[in-house]
Structure 1
Amino acid sequence: MDNTTIALEELKQHGYRVTKQRESMVDYLGRNQHRYTAVTILDRYMRTQFPGVSHDTIYRNVKSFIEMGIVESRMQDDQIVVKLQCDFQHPHHHHFICTNCGKVIELKMCPLNY
């Protein structure tokens, strides 16, 4: 099962309806799962797909996705960036993030364990 499908199942398990908007957000993040995306870019994309959707709805969904562990988040250049969870079975994991292109590679070991 791919991470997009797992993320949508997680939504259902947490009691959320899988709306077209939520499915579109998860799909967008799934297509870009090897890079963090600024929430402002996700917001812009969503508003092109669903012109009537409010910024509040988008940001509220992002916040819920973070709390559920569907997306990973971090701060980058004073803004929140997100990506689809890359490992639903092991939420504690680390990444290598290329400073040139921004590509994210999951590390299969914990560099903090000695």
Structure 2
Amino acid sequence: TFTGPGPIEALLRRFPRLRLIIAHMGMPEYSEFLDLAETYDGLLFDTTMNFTDFTEAGEPFPVAELPRLRDLGDRILFGSDFPNIPYPYGHALFALERLDLGDDWLRAVCHDNAARVFALG
């Protein structure tokens, strides 16, 4: 009732400046949530479990969406859910690096974006 792109869009229509972090990049509705991010500037994503071998086996991120992932790189925050994950912590970082979206993108996702969003200096 309260999750998924439809209810989130209804919430954002009502509160368009709301800052909202979408867990797991909106999996499995990746494209629909990326659509919302292009409309609502306060919509952010976390990468928990995404792009790892574990998740790619069942709910892969669409390769065709990689350009939008790159373009929205300032709205993506590294997430780990460590230690409650079915793979080593380092694999989450490796999975982001192997996307090959560039060092600046990776640095922003793993550090700079969260520092900015949470005013950490």
- TM-score of the pair, normalised by structure 1: 0.29
Q: Which has the higher helix share?
A: 2
Give the number of the structure with larger relative contact order, counting CA–CA contacts within 8 Å between residues 6 or more apart.
Answer: 1
Give the structure-2-normalised TM-score: 0.28
